[in-house]
Amino acid sequence: MITIPESDLVVHPLCLGSNIFGAAATEAQSHLVMDAYRSHGGNFIDTADMYNQWIDGHVGGESESVIGSWMKSRGNRADMVIATKVSKMDRRPGLSAKNIIAACEESLNRLQTDYIDLYYSHSDDETVSLEETLGAYAQLIAEGKVRYIAASNFTPARVRESIKFSEDNNLPSYIAVQDLYNLVDRTTYEGEMAGTVADLGISNIPFYGIARGFLTGKYRPGVTEVDSMRPAALVYTTDKNYAILTAMDEIAQAHNAPLAAIALGWLRAQPTVSAPIASARTVPQLEEIIQVVELTPDEVSTLNALSA
């Protein structure tokens, strides 16, 4: 278990993503995946109010509802660390105080709980003052409905500005960011954002930790049959990335671990990462991502060089 910096949240080193719960994974399948995650000591689940409004016939909130029904049926809410998000749901957009308060109540109802452990601003909203947004979070924290707040998809400048405003005005501060980061997609995070996170003493809880499934190794040269659930992974099918998979094969063999576990191990070796996020549609997929592998410095260096 690890403690997320700037908090007392003690979590499993894998944060279980849930953007497919209630969609690509049915409620029953999702419950089985969460059961398997718990059987390995997992306790950290990431969701959002807008999951999965992009599916025909869905309106958002389905993932939260599935997690809520699971926690209620298992009676394990006190054992779990639940993260959810506000600002990108079609019918609850933005970071106004009114919207944050209303969205939080709706998320609490769907999750069948009276508190959220980590509540993200899912995207920035510069039309609303920081005073208003952070004041709303202060109210929710004072009421015991939220424990900590974090930011996703912000610019480095806005993360700095927001945290400075919090410090200057005795308001709750973002304790983490959630940004895209993985072994084959490093440029969007490394550099200014990674430097900002390091300077502020917070951490990244990165999404797409296994690059939409590419880093599981199922996409190989000459393989034409791909998982239709993850066509977006095809963007990663380049010679450079295939070379990374080849190196990962050797490392995986040395650790007797799946490739996905190696990809997540590389992320954990990065100094500003706390717990990477990965999702699973089935229990066998969960078994691929749950093993916690500690890579050697040489292995990290090899993967760094190939993916630079």
User: What per-residue confidence (pLDDT) applies to 233?
Assistant: 82
Residue owning tokens 């304790």: 175
Decide: 81 and 118 in contact? Cβ < 8 Å: yes
- pLDDT in tens for each of the 308 residues of the chain? 999 999 999 999 999 999 999 999 999 999 999 999 999 999 999 999 999 999 999 999 999 999 999 999 999 999 999 999 999 999 999 999 999 999 999 999 999 999 999 999 999 999 999 999 999 999 999 999 999 999 999 999 999 999 999 999 999 999 999 999 999 999 999 999 999 999 999 999 999 999 999 999 988 987 755 554 456 788 899 999 999 999 999 999 999 999 999 999 999 999 999 999 999 999 999 999 999 999 999 999 999 999 99
Domain 2-178 part of CATH 3.20.20.100: yes
CA 225 to chain centre: 28
From the list 37, 51, 119, 236, the catalytic residue is 51
Please report, for the chain, the start and end positions of each structural domain, with discontinuous segments joined by +.
2-178
> Is 148 among the catalytic positions?
no
Beta bridge partners of 146: 116
Q: What is the pTM of this model?
A: 0.95
Beta strand pairing status for 203-204 and 174-178? parallel
Could you tell me if residue 25 is left (phi over 0), alpha (psi between -120 and 50 degrees) or otherwise beta?
beta
Decide: 238 and 185 in contact? Cβ < 8 Å: no
Q: Which of 176, 156, 193, 141 is nearest to 46 (CA)?
A: 176
Rounded Cα–Cα distance for residues 115 and 190 (Å): 33
CA 75 to chain centre: 24
